[in-house]
Amino acid sequence: MEMNFQSADRNAVRSPSSEKDQTSFRGLGMPWGSLRRRANGPGREPASPRSQFVFFSPRNGVAAASGQMLSCAPRPCFRATGCFTVSVWRLAACAGPPYHSSMSSSAETPEAEAIPADLLADFEAAARRPLRQRMRYAFIHTHKPVLDDAPFRAFDTTADYRRWCEQNLPDWLGYGRVRLPAS
Amino acid sequence: MAAFDYRQAEEIRDAFARHGCRYLFIGKSGAILLGFPDTTQDADLFVEKSQSNGESLVSALREIGFAIDAGQALQIRSGKDFVQLKNGPFDLDLVFAPDGIERFEDAWSRRVVVEGFPVCHIDDIIASKVATNRQKDRESLPRLESFRLYLRRQGRG
């Protein structure tokens, strides 16, 4: 999936005001409401209007959701389609609890659980394309500072690798592990 | 460097088969092979950790075009848990001990084969991302969960 974006005029972008508006955070598959609540607390506006972006759906061409980004701009890369592809995100959600703390195991997931309509449409569209074509648009390459600066690295344990990433890579690459905030 | 593509995946598949390597595509690259519509930057392989598989792996990687010197080959053979290769035609991560999956055999028994590519089951891909719990994993998990549900409904999960 690609997410096309443009920096938004601060007057043109507002946080979704109703629950209905907050239900879809297209492209990230995360409920906007939870992002907003984690980032700002209930009823509080985002700290910086300049950190807001509007995301446009490539399929329907309309703004699907608005999101708040922290500390860095998205790193776009040009693709054959001429669109921007957002490759690295640092989202407000990082302040929340670990994802698995609220995730259902496969055995617990009720089959009646709904797949969001926009995701279902994406899955079905992907299923109609041959693997070769899907791969052509799924793999992108952008330079990742530090990470891409050595031709070979080996780590004794996976934990060593995770630790190395946290100590050496810029936060905005997203390789840092999410931790519970101190209570 | 160009992005990883289907032809390169075929090179991995064919060279690894010739050398008898035991591996599975994992991570978002694995999910993409299963049909997940998203983007990623490199390919991740979950590789069986054994001396013989390490030797096969080095041979296959050299055949594909990775410039692996003797010291690096030794590290791959000697059972490092994580090896990052950027010295070949595409970027490749070799993961010998992914978070969230106890044994290679377990993942192998649940594997899905897509056009000859051995891929971790979506449950294992998600389990690994949940256990890793990085910012970038956390952001893709809700969509992966929905995709798992979609696969189940298609009778493929």
Domain residue spans in chain A? 1-95, 142-172
pLDDT at A183: 54
The predicted pLDDT at position B157 comes to 80
Sequence letter at residue A33:
G
What is the layout of strands, in order, in the sheet containing B117-119?
A152-155, B82-85, B92-95, B43-47, B23-26, B117-119, B112-114
Q: Do A135 and B36 touch (CB under 8 A)?
A: no
Average pLDDT, chain A: 59
Does the distance separating the beta carbons of B75 and A139 come in below 8 Å? no
pLDDT above 70 for A113? yes
> What's the average model confidence in pLDDT over A55-80?
36
Q: Which two tokens stand for residue A145?
A: 């500072």
Instruction: Give this prediction's pTM.
Output: 0.69
So what's the pLDDT on residue B121? Answer: 98
What gap in Å lies between CA B130 and CA B124, rounded to an integer?
A: 10
Q: For residues B120 and B113, is the Cβ–Cβ distance under 8 A? A: no
The model's pLDDT over A3-37, given as tens digits with 9 standing for 90+, comes to: 333 333 333 333 333 333 333 333 343 333 333 33
Query: CA B24, CA B13: separation in Å to the nearest integer?
Result: 10
Decide if A113 touches B, using CB distance below 8 A.
yes
Whether A154 sits inside 8 A of B82 (CB atoms) is yes
Query: Which residues 44-73 in chain A show a CB within 8 A of chain B?
Result: none
pLDDT reading at A95 higher than 50: no
From B37, B81, B152, residue closest to A156, measured CB to CB? B81
- Rounded (to 5) percent helix, strand, coil in chain B: 50, 15, 35
Search chain B and give the residue with CA nearest A152.
Answer: B85
Q: Inter-chain contact A106–B5, Cβ cutoff 8 Å? A: no
Angle made by CA atoms A140, A143, A149, in degrees to the nearest 5: 135
- Report the mean per-residue pLDDT for chain B: 96
What pLDDT digit, counting tens, does each position of A119-158 carry?
A: 999 999 999 999 999 999 999 989 999 999 999 999 999 9
Closest CA to A181 of A92, A96, A90: A96
Please tell me which of the candidates B36, B87, B153 has its beta carbon nearest to residue A151: B87
Q: CB contacts < 8 Å between A and B, how many?
A: 187
Determine the Cα–Cα distance for residues B96 and B50; give it in Å rounded to an integer: 9
Domains and CATH numbers, chain B: 6-153 (3.30.460.40)
Quick check: B63 and B147 in contact, CB under 8 A? no
pLDDT tens series, chain B, 157 aa: 778 999 999 999 999 999 999 999 999 999 999 999 999 998 999 999 999 999 999 999 999 999 999 999 999 998 899 999 999 999 999 999 999 999 999 999 999 999 999 999 999 999 999 999 898 899 999 999 999 999 999 998 8
CB contact under 8 A, A139 and B87: no
What's the pLDDT score for residue A111?
Answer: 54
> d(Cα B78, Cα B73) in Å, to the nearest integer?
8
